[in-house]
């Protein structure tokens, strides 16, 4: 089970991630996180020098857990179309776990946004590369420069994030944007 310190730390991270996802960074206080975790605020400061440090760690943890979960879901299916469906549906479903305030607070913090985008690029490129490679091996995807296509997909996503972050001002707009983008990726690249 772990030491008492490990148990407290894990509970702290679980509750911090939960509150940040639901309410965003700005709307959550250290007191609220401490109360939710059943620990003192001083205990939080034993592990983190500031709320921002805790937020950075929470976003990193959320990102890593999401990536592992996504890869596991993708590995459960065989076909290229099915893998893309899992990727796109997983992304749409996981969006529901995060409030618009969370997305905006992440993007407003240049350091967190930069790190998250860099990690997302690495993770996305690996996922895209694996799906395309397996699709080529199975004859479901024509032979292409896999590295180029994976990088192109990442560039498209980056450009969209940068250019559309200003106009996405509600959860419905975010969901609509992602749904349309994923539809283009799935059918624009692979046909019906």
**pLDDT(45) > 90:** yes
What global pTM score does this model have? 0.76
Maximum distance among all alpha carbons in the chain? 58
Mark residue 98 as left, alpha or beta (left: phi above 0; alpha: psi -120 to 50; beta: remaining). Answer: beta
Confidence of residue 154 (pLDDT cuts 50, 70, 90): confident
**Tens digit of each residue's pLDDT (9 = 90 or more) over 106-126:** 888 888 888 887 888 888 889
Q: Is the pLDDT of residue 166 over 70?
A: no
Residues 48-73: pLDDT tens digits?
999 999 999 999 999 899 999 999 99
139 class by beta-carbon count within 10 Å (0-12 exposed, 13-18 middle, 19+ buried)? exposed
As a CATH number, domain 52-190 is 1.10.357.10
As a whole number, the mean pLDDT across the chain is 85
Of the pLDDT bands very low, low, confident and very high (cuts 50, 70, 90), residue 190 is low
Q: How far is it, in rounded angstroms, from Cα 102 to Cα 61?
A: 14
Domain ranges of the chain: 52-190
């Amino acid at each position: 089970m772990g030491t008492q310190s490990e148990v407290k730390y894990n509970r702290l991270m679980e509750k911090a991630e939960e509150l940040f996802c639901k309410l965003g960074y700005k709307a959550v206080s250290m007191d609220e996180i401490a109360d939710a975790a059943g620990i003192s605020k001083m205990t939080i400061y034993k592990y983190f020098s500031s709320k921002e440090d805790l937020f950075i760690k929470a976003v990193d943890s959320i990102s890593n857990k999401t990536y592992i979960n996504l890869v596991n879901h993708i590995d459960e299916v065989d076909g290229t179309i099915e893998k893309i469906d899992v990727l796109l549906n997983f992304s749409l479903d996981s969006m529901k776990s995060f409030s618009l305030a969370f997305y905006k607070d992440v993007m407003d913090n240049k350091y967190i946004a930069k790190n998250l985008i860099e990690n997302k690029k690495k993770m996305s490129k690996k996922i895209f590369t694996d799906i395309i490679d397996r699709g080529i091996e199975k004859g479901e995807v024509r032979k292409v420069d896999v590295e180029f296509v994976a990088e192109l997909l990442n560039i498209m996503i980056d450009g969209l994030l940068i250019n559309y972050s200003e106009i996405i001002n509600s959860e419905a707009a975010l969901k609509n944007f992602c749904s349309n983008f994923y539809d283009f990726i799935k059918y624009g690249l692979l046909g019906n």
